[in-house]
Amino acid sequence: MLLLVTGASGQGTSTARRAVAPRLADEGVECVEFSDLVEIPEAPDTAWRQRSAEEVVRHALTLERSGRHLLFAGDPLAPGEIVGAPSGPALGTFDVLLLDADAATQTARLTGRGPVVGELEHHVAFATWFRGHVHDAAHRSHVLTAQGWDGLAAERLVGRPWRAAVLDTTGLGSDAVADAVAAWALRCLRRGRGSAPAGP
């Protein structure tokens, strides 16, 4: 099973991953980000991210064969990039939790942790795009395809081929976000085992 916790920069995905990893270890969940699976170039771009998404999918499938699960968090990976990866269809439906905060909160987080990599306005715009994409893979799909990897199967960017939830982290501290992410992951795992449905 793949659990994708994502969002634009400044939404707290890295902090959440570090906090929930020990809580989910006994559930057979491995928590990773890109740096755990691939080499990070000096200037990562959309095409690199999409090639790396294929490595995420392959790792999830490897874990699945041994009865384990993958939680990916810490990098702004779009669920459409999982769906469009060459091995994406082998995953079937997966679960996505979008961490989201208002523009003022996102900006404060980004500027509060040091120099911002890239244009601040770009990060805020990417968060806005994510809000549409998490509910519709085709939402402004040019964001993924305009300068993307030619191995991305853009024809699969239709509808919502994943189970989506959104967590508004505006006003939440890191502990509260971690608690909510862990609870969501456990609900997803229970549902995967034939129990209760997942929620945000």
| Per-position DSSP letters for 34-57, written without gaps between them | GGGTSPPPSS--HHHHHHHHHHHH
Whether 110 is covered by a domain: the verdict is: yes
Determine the average pLDDT of the residues in 80-91. Answer: 97
- Rounded Cα gap, residues 60 and 21, in angstroms: 16
- The pLDDT value recorded for residue 119 is 79
Pull the structure tokens for residue 63: 């874990």
CATH number of 60's domain: 3.40.50.300
| Closest among 153, 186, 180 to 25, alpha carbons compared | 186
Number of domains into which the chain is organized: 1
- Between 19 and 108, residue with greater pLDDT: 19
pLDDT band at 26 (very low <50, low <70, confident <90, very high): very high
In one-letter notation, the amino acid at residue 31 is C
Does residue 83 form part of some domain? yes
Residue 200 maps to a domain: no
- Residue 85 near residue 149, CB atoms below 8 Å: no
Percent of the chain past pLDDT 70, that is, above it, reads: 94
Which structural domain range is residue 85 located in? 2-192
Lowest pLDDT segment from 9-18, 40-49, 174-183, 189-198: 189-198
Q: Is the pLDDT of residue 198 over 70?
A: no
Sign for the CA dihedral angle at 99, 10, 13, 76 comes to positive
What value does the mean pLDDT take over residues 146-152? Answer: 96
- Domain contains 198: no
Q: Specify if 199 maps to a domain.
A: no
At 195, the pLDDT band (50, 70, 90 cuts) reads very low
Q: Cα–Cα distance between 186 and 101 in angstroms, integer?
A: 23
The answer to the question of residue 148 being in a domain is yes
**Contacts of 45 by beta carbon, 8 Å cutoff, 6+ apart:** 147
Please compute the mean of the pLDDT values over residues 47-60 and round it to a whole number: 98
Domain assignment present for residue 197? The answer is no
pLDDT for residue 103: 92
Q: Is the pLDDT of residue 193 over 90?
A: no
- What global pTM score does this model have? 0.91
Q: Indicate whether 42 pLDDT > 50.
A: yes
Read off the pLDDT band of 197 (50, 70, 90). Answer: very low
Tell me which amino acid residue 179 is: D
Q: Give the model's pLDDT for residue 196.
A: 37
Q: Report whether 98 contacts 166 (CB < 8 A).
A: yes
pLDDT band with cut points at 50, 70 and 90 for residue 12: confident
pLDDT at 109 over 90: no
Please tell me the predicted confidence (pLDDT) of residue 154. 96
CA distance 148 to 158: 17
